[in-house]
Each structure stands twice: as C-alpha cells, then as structure tokens.
Amino acid sequence: MSPISLLSPTRRELLAATAAAGAIGLLAGTRSVLANGEGISPFSVNFPEEALAELHQRVAATRWPDKETVTDDTQGVRLATIQKLAKHWETEYDWRKMEARLNGLPQFITEIDGLDIHFIHVRSKHENALPVIVTHGWPGSIIEQLKIIEPLTNPTAHGGSPEDAFDVVIPSLPGYGFSGKPTAPGWNPPRIAKAWAVLMQRLGYTKYVAQGGDWGNAVTELMALQEPPGLLGIHTNMAATVPADIAKVLSAGSPAPVSLSPDEKRAYDQLDDFYKNGLGYAIEMNNRPQTLYGIVDSPVGLAAWMLDHDIRSYQMIARVFDGKPEGLSKDDILDNITLYWLTNTAISSARLYWDNAHFPSGGFFDPRGIKIPVAVSAFPDEIYQAPQSWAEKAYPKLIHYNRLDKGGHFAAWEQPVVFTAELRAAFRTLRQ
C-alpha cells in the first residue's frame, strides 16, 4: 500500500489499515468505554518512512515558476522565500522530532456525531484546575497550541501559581490533522461547537471555559451562543466585533468614517487592506475547494498556499527564512505544513470554508450577541486588532480586554508566554 493511498481514506478505513502499514492509529488495546457508553481510545502517530521519502522526492522535483516581476509581496509568496523553505524542508527538516513530541502527549480518538475526533488531553497535577478547550484555525492545527500546554497545566514551573492551573483539551477540527474527514456537507462551525460540548461532557467536565482564534474563534463564539451546560465563559484572540455600520462601509470599499478613534481607524485600515488584498484564498475555498488538486499533489504548492494567509503573518514567516527568527522557527512552520501533507488534509480542511458559506452562521467578524462572559486579547498583527470600544459593544459581559504590543494571527504559537498570561488573567474571575 502506498503512503498516498494509506492517507487518503476516511479515518475508520485509515485506522483499519494500521495493522498492515503501521502509519497512524490507536494504541494497542481495546477502546475504553465511559459510563455513558461512549468510547475514547488512545492514539499515536507513526508515518512510514516511505511517506517521508516521497515527500522529500516531491520537494526536490518541484517545477519552479519564473521570479515575480515586482520587488515586493504584491504578487504573492516570493520565489526566494519559498525556495528557502523548500531547501530547508528537503535537507534539514526532521518530521520525526514533531512525531515524538506528539506521541509524548496524551492523544485520543472518539466518535461524535458519526465522525472520529482526535484530541490532546492533558490534565494538570494541581487540584481544582480549570478545564479549557482550545480550538485552532486554518492554516493552523493542533501544532499551534503545543507551546502553551505545559505552562497552562504546570503553572508553578512557569511563573504562575497553583490557582492558575488548567486542564487542556485541544481537538483537531473535522477534516484537519488526525480527525475524521467528513464525507457529506454540513460540518460548519455551529455543528463543530455542538460536538465540542459533547466532547467536554464526555470527558466528565461539568464546568469549563473555551478559547479560540480564526475558525477556532468562530467555533468558540458559537459555543458561547449555544450556551451548553457547564460553559462558564470564552476567550478569543481574533474577536468578532465589527459594528454593522462599519461593516457596511467596509463592504462598499469606502474611506473610513471621520468619527473613528485612532484605535478604530487602525482596525478599519487593517480590515480594508485584508478585504481588498488578502481574501483570495478564502474566496477560492468558499466557492471551489475541490479544485485545489495542485496543493494535494505538490508539497511546495501546499506550503505557498498556506503561507499566503494574511500579509503580516507571511512577512513574519519570510523574515524567519531570511534568518531572522521571531516568534516562529523554520521547523515550527514546516511542522504544521508537513502535518497537512502527511494527513492529506489540504482539501478536506478547505471544505470548512465551503460548509460555512453554504450553511452560514453569520459574518466572520460580525458580533453574534453572546450573553456569557467573554475575554479578548487583541494582538497588533492579527487580521485586525479589535478596539476596546468595539469589544465592549459586541460583548456585554466583557470580563477582560488587553491590547498587546506584539504578536499576530498565530498568537499562541508565536507568543506562548504572553498568551499563557492572557489566559490566566482572562479566566481568573470565573474560577470556582
């Protein structure tokens, strides 16, 4: 069985193939059964050498385009940047380090609403730890949150007190990473939000909080809107706060209203730039995700597609491959891209955009009318840095707001120390 044929079936078929190929699968033993009759099984990762060898061969065989005809980033990911990434991928990068790191964490699979959901679950050694479910986005994965697990679960070793402890649950979104790939439409953010509430109940948590950014914010805010039993409050690092009148002006492509404060004007300008210059990937995935065969067939094509998410993240990553590490390392970036490649989830993850567009749950940045407590960390290089004035209107029970001076779209990944401090502060008043 080839690596590609192994990694493309549904999750159940993939698990059944484990005995023959030994690539990904449940740890030895039977599926554990909880009191409610639902099973949760331990999970481990071990891709065959053939899959890694094929990846290197494909990177080495990349057919390169001509160099861009401009001296800036306006035509997309620059040839020099992606060639530096490819060289590191082919000659220096070692996926096995990430594989070992993942296998050093408690990972599990459980079926919810007919789909296998993969998740990391790390309990704190401290009593009365507050459970938190943390959700990633696109083009991210569970790898985004790995750096915050230890400081959240073991705060006394990372500048905190026992009262700051969390139990951490990090699921892979449907169609992402090691979760199952939906075989029918409809896995949109509201449905995922309901699944996450089932997961937390299944783990025995009667009181918990939730956190997210990007799609993770959409899922987390919809959990808050659904108000499942036990959800005390949420934290977001990509808040949905754009007032309706501002959204209307933005959609018309008009200049910013003169009445905006300096913080509001900066947010408006960031959004205006993103809508005009940064939405190409989302438009394609909203409308025609299945057309993206090239990013399933070419690892370098996949890497370029994932890098071109938002301009400030791309520019930060470009600086990393120019030898100026800040926030992320070269291996950090390739860990995430390689996970998408090895699990063959480029298109299955893209379908979340299509599902959201065809089973809509509100505008991405529109306030949703959340009534439970909300905490906001506003990072300067996010798609937009949510102003406090907008956050106060969007979230009537705003329990924490902080405007940070460093960090971007992948905040937990880029700035784990600051992010950890934000979560501790955000939920302090909700601890029982």
In three-state secondary structure terms, 170 is strand
* Cβ atoms of 180 and 378 closer than 8 Å: no
CB neighbours of 196 closer than 8 A, spacing ≥ 6? Answer: 133, 135, 171, 210, 219, 223
* Catalytic hit among 214, 331, 332, 355: 214
User: Largest alpha-carbon pair distance within the chain?
Assistant: 65
- CA 6, CA 22: separation in Å to the nearest integer? 10
User: Any idea of the CA torsion for 161, 167, 172, 174, to the nearest 10 degrees?
Assistant: -130
The token duo for 61 is: 């065989």
The token duo for 358 is: 């065809």
Angle between helices 346-358 and 280-287 (to 10 degrees): 80
Annotation marks residue 136 as catalytic: no
- CA 87, CA 351: separation in Å to the nearest integer? 30
- CA 109, CA 112: separation in Å to the nearest integer? 10
- CA 388, CA 11: separation in Å to the nearest integer? 43
* Cβ atoms of 328 and 415 closer than 8 Å: no
Candidates 119, 130, 109, 221; CA nearest to 169 is 119
* Cβ atoms of 13 and 21 closer than 8 Å: no
Dihedral over Cα of 277, 316, 313, 427: its sign? negative
Annotation marks residue 353 as catalytic: yes
Candidates 164, 92, 97; CA nearest to 127 is 164
* Cβ atoms of 234 and 372 closer than 8 Å: yes
* Catalytic hit among 205, 353, 384, 401: 353
- In three-state form (DSSP H/G/I as H, E/B as E, the rest C), the secondary structure along 178-216 is CCCCCCCCCCCHHHHHHHHHHHHHHCCCCCEEEEECCHH
Q: What is the DSSP secondary-structure string of 109-166?
A: EEEETTEEEEEEEE--SSTTPEEEEEE--TT--GGGGHHHHHHHH-GGGTT--GGG-E
Annotation marks residue 118 as catalytic: no
As annotated, the active-site residues are 214, 353, 409
